[in-house]
Structure 1
Amino acid sequence: MPVSIDIIPFSDSLELYGEPDFSSAFSLAGHVLISLSSPSFMFQRRRSTTRALMQSLTVTFEGQSEIITPDIGYAALRLCSITRELVIGEPIDLANEGHEDSNKPCSWNVIFDIPVPGWLPTTSMYGDRNAVEAGTRYALYATATFISLEDGSSSIFSSFFSPFSCRTHTINAPRCPVTLIRFAEVPSTPSSVSSTPVFPMALFIVDAQSGKDDTETDTTTIPPDILKKIQVVASIPTAVTLDETSVPLILRLQGNELDASQRERLRITDFTVDVEQIETYRSITSLDRVARFVVPPRTQQPPSFPLRNAHPVHTLYDVGFLMTPYPSKTTSTRSFSLFDPSNSGKYIISGDGRVFMHDSPEGDVTPHSPSENWYVLEANIPLAPDPHQLDWAGIRSRRISENTPLFSVCHAMHIALRCVYKQPDGEVVSERLHFSLPMQHVRVAVPLIIPSPTDRTTVDTTELQKSALYSQSLPAYSQLFHSNGERKIDYSTPLPLYEPPSSASSSSSFTLDCSDDDRKLIS
């Protein structure tokens, strides 16, 4: 039967804005193209009319997640499956009458609009680098069911084969991949200075833990009661974009509870910083662990209900050709530094390191407030712009921070302050204060620059192509309205100052002249 269907979405990618939200949804729209043509037969001078009665037409948006690791093997999960029936009510009669001899088939477009859940993870590839196409993927599928209708002008060949052929046919459209990309919402008043971060700074009151690193072999430690009196407050951006090559870090140190002798003996000589990316791969055997992700129930999960486009390696695990090396192991972790290998991450503090000494100028007996006793350290922490190593899971490249049922990525900044203390007997000991700060790595949309009128071409077709690109730069709904539908107001923009009306117009009223639409004074 010469009937075919194709899925043509308005865009092959869907942009999600903001944090994953279970109560939000994004629109994925397009149309299903139905093509109908008449077959040509030998000894037939004119093609006959082709008629079909379409009974149903469904389009399905489906997402899946698969991992393949050397230690925990293969695991798969269906993230979502949303189906829409496009033929509502009576069947649709399709015919190419009057266009039988045309080289182009008759076509119909059936519009669809699917609400995509706002919590879904982004499209990404992960897992064993030798197993291609593993990770999180999405696609559109369409299926049509129709009945071929006999026509009076049918050929003798079709009449001969009709008793042996089924009149009800089911056809499937080619798989249409869809890429999901998540963008973070940029603050409404971003800084105009390129050296400042895109996102505001977050403040952390740190509970630093004492300990030694690999370079310190001395068993003598600094008295714990002295280290507990050191207060540390750290500041890093609330989020870091993937294209930023440095992260600002501000450390504030205070030791007001230290006595004068302890301040004299205690020094902060240097500090080390490292930014780590931790990737966790999970082989989940119980859906209770992923219940908060609102995935389909167990009856719709593999192997009970196979994935539509599963990785070929799953058959090897199903028949037992490949076995999991560690059956009891359910997680696998890969972690690495986002620093360049040549970067040690060590920063030397200038001076003698006695940062808690607050010597007042000679003759100044004015007491200082505690807020003036903070010692501030500032540094720009460089990140490697390009990946530099390769392991079993592929290139060690920066990813956005996300948490998915089978795959999670988190980031942390590890900081260690080196404290040196001189004991009353003259012995010098050193120890480090360790703490970690959670980080959020995000992707932001690149703003499109609208060209000036002089740069636009006068050719109609080219102008339409350019305008189509800029029409996709509209802000997301969540950037303009709150979840309850109220409009967002940017209170950071001050209102104009109030100016009292002039004496000439204070007692006058205004009216609108219909002739020239100018406002005129009525005496």
Structure 2
Amino acid sequence: MPVSIDIVPFSDSLALFGDADFSSAFSLAGHVSVSISSPSFMFQRRRSTTRALLQSLTITFEGQSEVITPDIGYAPLRLCSITRELLNGEPVDLSNEGHEDSDKPCSWNVIFDIPVPGWLPTTSTYGDQGAVEAGTRYALYATATFIYLEDGSSSIFSSFCSPFNGRTRTITAPICPITLTRFIEVPSAPSSSSSSTSIFPMALFIVDAQSGQDSTETHAKAIPPEVLKKIRVVASIPNAVTMDETSVPLILRLQGNELNASERERLRITDFTVDVEQIETYRLLTTCLSRSTTSLDRVTRFMVPPRAQQPPSVPLRNAHSLQTLYDVGLLINPYPSRSSTTRSFSLFEPSNSGKYIISGDGYVFAHDSPDGDAISPSPSENWYVLEASVPLAQEPHRLDWAGPCNRRISESSPLFSVCHMMHIALRCAYEHPDGDVVYERLHFSLPMQNVRVPAPVTSSAADSILIIEGAMELQKSAPYSQSLPAYSQLFHSNGERKIDYSIPLPLYEPPPSASSSSFTLDHDDDDRKSIS
């Protein structure tokens, strides 16, 4: 076709910094290239000029989420749809006059800048392993509307096509996929609460441990509940865990100041077990809006387009091939009453039991005097501290209906959510007055957050940045995305630019030619003042 358009973003990936936030936005920029060429005909000696009146040029950023599971079937959802009109005002007359015989078309680049919402989930693939294209995807779409104009030629071909030249034509650009990735900024300086093995500070949890019968205990007796309630537990894990970390530091602090001397002599902490679990939740929302108020409430939490713009009213632009089979009824939901399904698995190696034995006799609350008699603890003897480095598996070791059990970042979206929990159980032994020893576990769970952090700028990349007379030249060996500052350093969360008012503006100095009423700039001055 003589007229074509193509989308050229500055980058095919967009990095979102910080936690998901409904009040933040990120810039996705680039240009749409409009090209015009002259077709060649067999009996035409010279190519004719192609003229077109460009009436409209729109760019759309659209995101979609699709879930396919054996239990709940197929569910589509449009996450966002942002359209910008790039032609403001009158139509634009385009022509390749003078370049009809050129092998290269005449092109015009129209820039765009789309604000991408900061709450959007990252690009990812999930669901049934047989549907490899299902998941969260984003893309740019462009559409141009124009009218072919007469060029004044009188060839037999122009005369034949003249009845069609006045018709409005609409063309679309090839789809341009965009990858969204979320990063969390690394703390600039480690705080006093940071662990030596983690770049993030430690979070403190005062837990309410629940007692439970030990799996190996068959005795009818149990530890008196009032004894277990006197044990205070405080746990510490990092605020976030990066995807490339192989272990998580864990600190447990135990206190039993309210226990009397007899209870301290009978109570022991023998060991504790740890497990890190990843829980993936798949939901049906779009198809369940009419029958499930819970699903409707969850949709309203996210700023997704209204129901009138959702499938099946408005199909997805790049829907999965299985959508047609579900629409015509060839595939149905095997469990119509179910609106969600989950997949959970441990992030430990199969050989890792997660069990840690406490050294010594286990009487962590007994404080003996030099004579061997138990005494009450002093105010300085507050806590018994347990420290462990919990290892994490780097490669998936399980395979099920959703594919390999890969480690993902923690995030929440309308159809798919991932959360991480660290489960801890303290094994307590209590000796009754009659000599019987019973075992129970104090168990609790801590929320974890798996995040990605931006790759640090290496020395080789930093050395490739050259500064020449105030202008910065970026070598091809250094990706420009690694040398730019973070978005949050340049803009506020609402998109406004950060301005440092502490730096004063330079004093005004009139130019040398300010006294004259007019001045001219010749080509020599233009060449001398330009920066190449």
How many Å apart are 1:448 and its aligned residue?
1.4
Q: How many Å separate the matches in 2 of 1:453 and 1:402? A: 32
**Superimposed CA distance per residue, residues 126-183 of structure 1 (whole angstroms, 9 cap, x where no aligned partner):** 0001012100000000000000001112531232133256621100000000000000
Query: Which of 296, 301, 318 is matched with 2:305 structurally?
Result: 296
User: Residue in 2 aligned with 1:125?
Assistant: 125
Distance 1:454 1:137 in 2: 36
Change (3 A) 1:486 1:260: farther
Confirm whether residue 354 of structure 1 aligns to residue 363 of structure 2.
yes
Partner of 2:74: 74
How far does the alpha carbon of each residue in 1:281-303 deviate from its partner, in whole angstroms, 9 at most, with x for none? Answer: 00012243211211100100000
Tell me the equivalent position of 1:59: 59
Q: Which residue of 2 aligns with 1:8?
A: 8
Determine the C-alpha separation between the residues in 1 that align with 2:370 and 2:480: 62
Output the amino acid matched with 1:475: P
Give the unaligned 5+ runs of structure 1: 490-523
Choose the corresponding residue for 1:377, options 351, 368, 386. 386
Letter in 2 for 1:85: E
Give CA-to-partner distance per residue, 1:446-473, whole Å, 9 cap, x none. Answer: 1112438977899xxxx74437614543
Q: 1:443 aligns with which of 432, 452, 471?
A: 452
How far apart are the structure 2 equivalents of 1:17 and 1:456? 24
The amino acid that maps onto 1:476 is A
Please state if 1:153 is matched with 2:153: yes
Q: Is the 8 A contact 1:358 1:373 kept in 2?
A: no
Q: What residue is the counterpart of 2:508 in the other structure?
A: none
- Counterpart residue number, 2:488: 478
| Structure 2 match to 1:262 | 263
Per the alignment, do residues 224 and 57 of structure 1 end up closer, same or farther by CA in structure 2, a change over 3 Å counting? Answer: same
Q: Rate the CA distance shift 1:326–1:367 in 2: closer, same or farther, 3 A.
A: closer
- Distance in 2, matches of 1:187 and 1:305, equals 44
Structure 1 segment 157-176 matched on structure 2, within 5 A:
157-164=157-164, 167-176=167-176
* Matches of 2:179 and 2:498, distance apart in 1: 30
1:233 corresponding residue in structure 2: 234
Give the alignment of 1:19-418 within 5 angstroms: 19-153=19-153, 155-164=155-164, 167-190=167-190, 196-284=197-285, 285-286=288-289, 287-361=296-370, 369-418=378-427
TM-score between the two structures when normalised by the length of structure 1 = 0.88
Deviation at 1:475, TM superposition (A): 2.6
C-alpha distance 366-393 of structure 1, shift in aligned 2 (>3 A): closer
Q: Following the alignment from structure 1 to structure 2, what is the Cα–Cα distance between the partners of residues 43 and 190?
A: 76
Label 1:325 to 1:371 Cα distance change in 2 as closer, same or farther (>3 A): farther
**Deviation per CA, 1:288-327, whole angstroms, max 9, x where unpaired?**
3211211100100000010000001011011110010000
SS in 2 for 1:373: coil
CA-CA distance at 1:407 after TM superposition: 0.4
- Structure 1 CA distance, aligned partners of 2:328 and 2:482? 47
TM-score after normalising by structure 2: 0.86
Query: Residues 479 and 267 (structure 1 numbering): CA distance in 2 closer, same or farther, change over 3 Å?
Result: farther
**Aligned CA distance change for structure 1 residues 185 and 166 (closer, same or farther; 3 Å):** same
One-letter code aligned to 2:157: F
Contact 1:212–1:432 (CA<8 Å) still a contact in 2?
yes
Say how many residue pairs are matched. 485
Maintained 8 Å contact 1:32/1:110: yes
Between the aligned partners of 2:406 and 2:102, the Cα distance in structure 1 is 53
Distance 1:180 1:455 in 2: 27
Q: CA deviation at 1:83?
A: 0.3
Separation in structure 2 between the aligned mates of residue 283 and residue 46 of structure 1, nearest angstrom: 60
**Displacement after TM superposition at 1:218 (Å):** 2.9
Structure 1 residues 208 and 453, CA gap change in structure 2 (3 angstroms): closer
Contact 1:185 1:479 in 2 (8 A): no
Aligned residues of 2:195 and 2:202 also touching (Cα < 8 A): no
Distance 1:363 1:341 in 2: 43
TM-aligned CA deviation for residue 361 of structure 1:
4.2
The whole-number CA distance in structure 1 between the counterparts of 2:368 and 2:482 is 60
Following superposition, the deviation at residue 477 of structure 1 comes to: 3.3
Deviations, residues 373-432 of structure 1 (Å, cap 9, x unaligned): 311000000000111111100110110111100000000000000000100000010000
How far apart are 1:480 and its partner, in Å?
Answer: 5.8
Amino acid at match of 1:281: Y
Contact 2:58/2:83 (CA < 8 Å) preserved in 1?
yes
CA contact (8 A) 2:278 2:344 kept: yes
CA contact (8 A) 2:66 2:76 kept: yes
Q: Tell whether the 8 Å contact from 2:271 to 2:427 is kept in structure 1 after alignment.
A: yes
User: 1:138 touches 1:177 (CA, 8 Å); kept in 2?
Assistant: yes
Secondary structure at the aligned position of 1:39 is classed as coil
Aligned-partner Cα distance in 1 for 2:384–2:403: 42
**Residue ranges of structure 2 left out of the alignment (5+ in a row):** 290-295, 468-472, 501-532
Question: Distance between the aligned counterparts of 2:209 and 2:83, measured in 1?
Answer: 52
Could you tell me how far apart the structure 1 residues matched to 2:90 and 2:190 are?
Answer: 54
Q: Which residue of 2 aligns with 1:492?
A: none
The one-letter amino acid paired with 2:419 is C
Maintained 8 Å contact 2:79/2:304: yes
Change (3 A) 1:393 1:452: closer
Deviates more, 1:181-190 or 1:306-315: 181-190
- Aligned partners of 1:44, 1:335: CA distance in 2, in Å? 68
| Distance in 1 separating the partners of 2:266 and 2:146 | 88
Provide Cα deviations, 1:72-94, integer angstroms capped at 9, x if missing partner: 00001100000000011000000
Paired residue secondary structure (1:418): strand
Shift of 1:188: 1.7
The answer on whether the counterparts of 2:13 and 2:178 sit within 8 Å (CA) in structure 1 is yes
Report the CA distance shift for 1:169/1:454 in structure 2 as closer, same or farther (over 3 A): closer
CA 1:453–1:348 in structure 2 vs 1: closer, same or farther (change >3 Å)? closer
- Measured after TM superposition, the shift of residue 479 of structure 1 is 4.1
| Counterpart Cα distance in 2 of 1:147 and 1:481 | 41
| Cα distance in 2 between the residues matched to 1:346 and 1:457 | 53
* Partner residue in 2 for 1:512: none
- Taking the aligned partners of 2:107 and 2:214, their CA distance within structure 1 comes to 71
CA contact under 8 A between 1:191 and 1:198: conserved in structure 2?
no
Q: Secondary structure at the match of 2:460?
A: coil
Deviation per residue, 1:37-63 (Å, 9 max, x gap): 000011211111110000000000000
For the 8 Å contact 2:63–2:138, the answer to whether it is kept is yes
Preserved CA contact (<8 Å) 1:278 1:335: yes
CA RMSD, aligned part only? 2.6
Q: Report if aligned partners of 1:67, 1:126 keep a CA contact under 8 Å in 2.
A: yes
Percent sequence identity is 78
Aligned residue identity for 1:355: V
8 Å CA contact 1:256–1:370 kept in 2: the answer is no
